[in-house]
């Protein structure tokens, strides 16, 4: 019996092979349609999968999404908490969540350009840590320190002045800025001008220790800004953990921010899904058009197969296997091309090449196979027609 | 003017008396919308008979053969083959019926163009039960195509294609061979080859129902049935040199056999 079954399997394979290569021109057209569909859908799927990481990364550059403030600080710049609070920040329980933090101390001081005569009140900000959102600031501060070290021409503090403040004080790169807070004074060399379009443009940035010294707040900070990189739910959970760990402080997740991130992702994801679905539907229609031709070519074969005892199911099995193989071959070729395409598209859209995601490959191949099976509908319909109807030419 | 039927039930009765009928058609009707292609056709076929089914175009010959072969359904009436009522069979039983009991030979050959001669024969085995290449080769050898096994239909002559179709029809040893103008597309030489194969089949006891317009081919048959506008108008074992006796429709002939020119026996009232 197994021998008989294997004989029939061998005949089945033989028939499918003959069906596939019955018309090489048509085979090429169908494969081309399926590969093109698979390529575009794989490219879009890869972008979609990569978009979450990409958008999160883009949004992360906007800054913190959790704040740790002294309890009941309100809008006051005076309320502070110990610098050691930062060391109490725990690692997130969820390994998928990556967390960075920076410490800030805000103080009011008087500033004067070059000659310490005409002082005007300014907000000075002390900053320490690594916060991706403040990366420009972080790198500016480091660059300034390096420059000072190299040239050796200026000894002492360096500062970065916001664009608006620099204009108000009329200071430029290399100028000295004098700062005064009560009886405490210090001078810093302007190493860069910061442009954010936000409140930072009216502030002066120094290292945390400088501002602590200036404001007589040694070891104190105003706020810890945390950038947690993950879904809004993960971020909320992390904030709740922190609140438990820091009962004396106020942990505030910036809900709108994380929700905006989720919204952007959801919109882009929806757009890409719709585009992928459209491409797949178009591909199915192209394949269906080709298959309608094939059905017309094969209608007498189907009528004859039924006349000699072929069941609709047996004939369908042949045609569907052919469609699955076409989908598989088209999908494998197209998905590989599509992933490569997505790398280029990612570069064009996000400025950075999208990472090829392995999961996209089986998904797009499976989708292409499904499309090929759907495209074979005209052949499926034919298999259910009475042979006499076919022979009379009514189909 | 109404057509006077020349029906000789005794023709089938003679054989029917010897063996039980293999096929029984009773009051078969087939309608396509308002067109009645078959209008109450009844006759029996005994095992081993070769029947030439004749009649002008549109008389219902192909419709009859299609219903008998399970390719189409009857509007009313019944068809029993080997005591199996086929008009009541469901689709899957019809598939088995076609695979096991019927061998079709078509005028257009209906070979699968992308399968070789051998594969076309094996296709019938595949749908029947299991493929056996050596048996398929043997079948093709019997119809004189031992050297054409791997040829595609496009590389075969019409006669060779029809022989492949005959080998395919016979490969599953069907009870009944239904041939719809099997020589209609063949030249004289190939026609002779194909008819010789049918002669051999008849000799070996196969039951054949063959649609033909060709009197010379019909002469080979043991019995002739004619349809006109869906009506059975002649059923006789007379050969073409003999005249079937004119009888009113429904009146039986004497049981002495076909009505020949020599037969002066009157119809029974």
Reported as a single tens digit per residue, the pLDDT across A195-225 is 877 788 899 988 888 899 899 889 999 999 8
pLDDT at B260 over 50: no
Q: With bands split at pLDDT 50, 70 and 90, how would you rate the model's confidence at B23?
A: very high
Residue A387: list chain B partners with CB under 8 A: 66, 71-72
> Are A309 and B127 a contacting pair at CB < 8 A?
yes
Restricting to A residues 1-20, those with a Cβ less than 8 Å away from any Cβ of B are: 4-5, 7-8, 10-12, 14-15, 18-19
Q: Per-residue pLDDT averaged across A40-52, rounded?
A: 81
Q: With bands split at pLDDT 50, 70 and 90, how would you rate the model's confidence at B254?
A: very low
pLDDT at A285 over 80: yes
pLDDT of residue B104: 93
ipTM of the complex: 0.83
> Are A314 and B122 a contacting pair at CB < 8 A?
no
**DSSP assignment string, chain B:** -PPPPEE-HHHHHHHHHHS-EEEEEEEEEEEETTEEEEEEEEEEEETT-EEEEE-STTSSHHHHHHHHTTSS--SEEEEEETTEEGGG--HHHHHHHHHHHEEEEETT----TTS-HHHHHHHHHHHHS---HHHHHHHHHHTT-GGGTT--GGGS-HHHHHHHHHHHHHTT--SEEEEESTTTT--HHHHHHHHHHHHHHHHTT-EEEEE-S-HHHHTTSSEEEEEETTEEEEEE---TTS-PPP--TTPPPPTT-S--SS--PPPP-
Nearest to A301 among B91, B98, B112 (CB): B112
Chain B: closest CA distance from residue A380 (Å)? 16
Residues of chain B with a CB closer than 8 angstroms to some CB in chain A: 63, 66, 69, 71-73, 91-92, 95-96, 98-100, 104, 106, 108, 110-115, 119, 122-132, 168-169, 172
pLDDT of residue A350: 65
Question: Is A122's Cβ below 8 Å from some Cβ in B?
Answer: no
> Are B99 and A309 a contacting pair at CB < 8 A?
yes
Residue A321: list chain B partners with CB under 8 A: none
pLDDT of residue A248: 86
Q: With bands split at pLDDT 50, 70 and 90, how would you rate the model's confidence at B268?
A: very low
Restricting to A residues 285-344, those with a Cβ less than 8 Å away from any Cβ of B are: 300-301, 303-312, 314
Residue of B nearest to A3 (CA): B130
Q: With bands split at pLDDT 50, 70 and 90, how would you rate the model's confidence at B257?
A: very low
pLDDT at B83 over 50: yes
pLDDT of residue A341: 85
pLDDT of residue B29: 96
Say whether pTM exceeds 0.95. no
> Are B72 and A22 a contacting pair at CB < 8 A?
no
Residue of A nearest to B107 (CA): A391
């Amino acid at each position: 019996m197994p021998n008989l079954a294997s004989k029939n399997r061998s005949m089945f394979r033989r028939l499918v092979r003959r069906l596939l290569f019955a018309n090489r021109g048509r085979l090429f057209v169908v494969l081309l349609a399926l590969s093109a569909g698979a390529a575009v859908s794989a490219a879009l799927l890869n972008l979609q999968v990569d978009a979450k990481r990409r958008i999160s990364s883009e949004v992360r550059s906007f800054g913190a999404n959790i704040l740790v403030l002294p309890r009941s600080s309100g809008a006051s710049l005076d309320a502070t908490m110990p610098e050691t609070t930062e060391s109490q920040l725990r690692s997130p329980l969820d390994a998928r969540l990556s967390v960075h933090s920076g410490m800030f101390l805000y103080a009011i001081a008087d500033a004067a350009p070059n000659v310490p005569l005409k002082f005007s009140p300014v907000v000075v900000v002390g900053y320490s840590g690594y916060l991706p959102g403040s990366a420009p600031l972080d790198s500016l501060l480091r660059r300034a320190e390096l420059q000072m070290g190299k040239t050796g021409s200026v000894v002492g503090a360096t500062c970065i002045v916001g664009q608006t403040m620099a204009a108000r004080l009329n200071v430029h790169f290399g100028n000295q800025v004098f700062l005064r807070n009560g009886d405490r004074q210090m001078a810093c060399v302007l190493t860069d001008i910061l442009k954010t379009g936000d409140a930072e443009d009216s502030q002066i940035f120094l290292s945390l220790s400088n501002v602590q010294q200036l404001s007589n707040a040694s070891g104190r900070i105003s706020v810890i800004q945390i950038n947690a990189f993950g879904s809004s739910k993960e971020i909320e959970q992390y904030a709740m953990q922190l609140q438990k760990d820091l009962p004396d402080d106020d942990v505030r997740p910036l809900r709108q921010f994380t929700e905006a991130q989720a919204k952007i992702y959801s919109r882009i994801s929806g757009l890409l899904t719709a585009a992928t679905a459209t491409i797949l539907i178009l591909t199915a229609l192209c394949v269906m058009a080709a298959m309608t031709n094939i059905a017309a070519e094969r209608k007498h074969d189907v009528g004859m197969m039924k006349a000699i005892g072929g069941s609709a199911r047996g004939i369908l099995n042949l045609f569907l296997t052919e469609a699955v193989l076409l989908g598989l071959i088209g999908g494998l070729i197209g998905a590989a091309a599509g992933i490569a395409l997505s790398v280029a598209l990612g570069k064009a859209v996000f400025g950075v090449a999208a990472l090829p995601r392995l999961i996209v490959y089986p998904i797009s191949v499976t989708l292409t196979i499904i499309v090929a099976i759907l495209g074979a509908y005209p052949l499926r319909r034919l298999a259910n027609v009475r042979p006499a109807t076919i022979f009379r030419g009514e189909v | 003017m109404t057509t006077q039927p020349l029906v000789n039930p005794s023709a089938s009765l003679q054989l029917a008396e010897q063996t039980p009928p293999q096929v029984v058609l009773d009051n078969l009707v087939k309608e396509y919308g308002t067109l009645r292609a078959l209008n109450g056709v009844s006759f029996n076929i005994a095992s081993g008979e070769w029947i030439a089914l004749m009649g002008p175009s549109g008389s219902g010959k192909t419709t009859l053969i299609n219903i008998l072969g399970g390719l189409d359904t009857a509007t009313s009436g019944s068809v029993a083959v080997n005591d199996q009522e086929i008009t009541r069979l469901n689709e899957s039983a019809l598939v088995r019926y076609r695979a096991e009991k019927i061998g079709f030979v078509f005028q257009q050959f209906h070979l699968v163009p992308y399968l070789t001669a051998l594969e076309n024969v094996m296709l019938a085995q595949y749908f029947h039960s299991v493929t056996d290449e050596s048996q398929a080769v043997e079948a093709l050898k019997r119809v004189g195509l031992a050297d054409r096994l791997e040829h595609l239909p496009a590389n075969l002559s019409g006669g060779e294609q029809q022989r492949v179709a005959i080998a395919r029809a016979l490969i599953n040893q069907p009870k009944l061979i239904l041939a719809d103008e099997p020589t209609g597309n063949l030249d004289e030489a190939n026609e002779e080859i194909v008819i010789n194969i049918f002669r051999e089949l008849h000799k070996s006891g196969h039951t054949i129902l063959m649609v033909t317009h060709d009197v010379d081919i019909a002469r080979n048959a043991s019995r002739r049935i004619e349809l006109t506008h869906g009506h059975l108008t002649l059923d006789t074992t007379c050969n073409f040199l003999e005249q079937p006796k004119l009888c009113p429709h429904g009146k039986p002939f004497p049981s002495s056999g076909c009505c020949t020119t020599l037969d002066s026996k009157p119809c029974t009232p």
